[in-house]
Chains A and B, each alone.
Chain A
Amino acid sequence: MADEIEQLSAAQRSKVRRLSAPKELAPDEEGGELNIVPFLDIIMNVLMFVLATVAVTFTAIIDTQPPRPAGASAAKPTTPTLSLNVIILKDGYILSAVGQRIGAGCQGTGSGLAVGLDPSGKTRLVPVGATGTFKEVREYDYKALTECAARLKGASPDFATEKQVVITTGADMDFQAIINTMDALRKSDKGDELFPDVMFGVPK
């Protein structure tokens, strides 16, 4: 009953209206943070162009040891060692292990190439000097080389810890073929480690 009687006066109603009006923020108070949206627009555009123009290629590192001068050799091992040597020729690989040359087809000992060229006739392009021209040559049989290296390493438990291989080739062999050979000798098809430590021999 008291509320019905007690009405606000006009002055009080006016004051209530005035004081209850929501405060409008000044332009500098709005949001309270820096508007970086235009900046981001620019950055996003620049970023897209940068990523589109930069050719991203990822590199890796293969560690090698320096070639030893003639006559210098490591200390003689006390256990039998495989001492794998791989010679890259134009038409295949000559392999020698435990001081003996591996026979054709990676079977036993004997003369000839242990591993030949790719049987499917696959070819690759080899640059000819600095002329900018290329010649087509037959690709090596890297799969057979990997299998041969795995077979030789598995021939005796004494060779299980051996990781070093000496790679030698002709003076004109291209670098890509050497890298491919190192790849083939690094791991077996099953992913087991074979011969990751490469030493380069004197060019033939």
Chain B
Amino acid sequence: MANIPPGGGPPGGEPGGGGVPFVPAPPQKPASMARYKRELRKETKRRHIEPEINFLNITAMLDMMTIILVFLLKTMTTSTAAVPQGEDLKIPSSVIAKSQCAEQLVPGHESDDCPEPEGIAIFISKTNVVVGDHAVCPVPPDADKGVEARYKRGSRNDYGIVPLESALQSFRDTDKKVRAAQHKDPGFSEAIVVADLGVPYRLLFEVLYTLGQNEFSKQHIMVLQGSATPPKTTP
């Protein structure tokens, strides 16, 4: 027995046979705690996997998109959203690149001194004169003689349009109080005139005259920016 090496013998050796008998190795003495912890740290470091970035980081792009979207919506709101263009209403184009007020100011100070035009919207289409959402009177086929006499106080030669006056008056009463509350001059109101490019001057003049007579002394005419060429149309 003394000749048998420790842990030596093949497993399954025949006991008492000619082979070397299996002897289990004696339990190994555990290493010290310091050695154990050092090994643990080393192994943890070795097997550590850097977290893989398996998704696209789009936060920066989203920030940018949000800012662009805000500006886009703001531009569209002030420029096109309120102009329902169609066959009945095509607004004229102008070479003016920005609002007239902004053009007359020192560059860089437009936003401070040129507020967005506000006021009641008057649409003069090929068929109707519309205030806000309500059609106040039809445009006759011979609009170069103005609106029909039944919409005037006297004859057709008068300039004031009675249904338009009524619609303007109710808005004016409200606007007067609103302007006073906003510390603006309540002595006048503003109007935005959106007219078709083929509207005859007589009809345009009647609308502008009626506005002026009802204390809408600040009138804005809406045009398409950037080109004096009228939209392509089929003759």
Contact = CB atoms under 8 A, between A and B. Distances in A.
Interface of A: 3, 6-12, 15-17, 19-22, 31, 35-37, 40, 54, 56-69, 124-136, 142, 169-176, 178-180, 182-183, 186, 193, 196, 200, 202-203
Contacts of A182: 94
Contact of B30 (A11, A22, A54): A11
Given A175-B199, A175-B201, 12 more contacts: A3-B35, A37-B58, A59-B223, A62-B223, A128-B198, A129-B142, A171-B146, A174-B200, A178-B201, A179-B223, A182-B94, A186-B96
B97 interface: yes
Interface in B66-83: 75-76, 79-80, 83
A8 B230 contact: no
A202 B208 CA distance: 11
Contacts of B120: none
B80 A56 contact: yes
Interface string B78-107: 011001010100011111111111011000
Given A59-B91, A62-B221, A126 B80 contact: no
Interface of B: 27-32, 35-36, 39-40, 43-44, 46-49, 54-56, 58, 75-76, 79-80, 83, 85, 87, 91-101, 103-104, 117, 126-127, 139, 141-146, 192, 195-202, 204-205, 208-209, 211-213, 216-226, 228, 230, 233-235
Q: Name B's interface SS.
A: loop
Nearest to A3: B35
A12 to B, nearest CB: 5
28 contacts: A6-B31, A8-B35, A9-B29, A16-B36, A16-B40, A20-B47, A36-B58, A56-B76, A57-B83, A57-B225, A58-B75, A64-B221, A66-B209, A69-B209, A129-B143, A132-B87, A134-B233, A136-B235, A142-B228, A169-B201, A171-B146, A172-B200, A175-B198, A178-B201, A186-B100, A196-B104, A200-B208, A203-B202
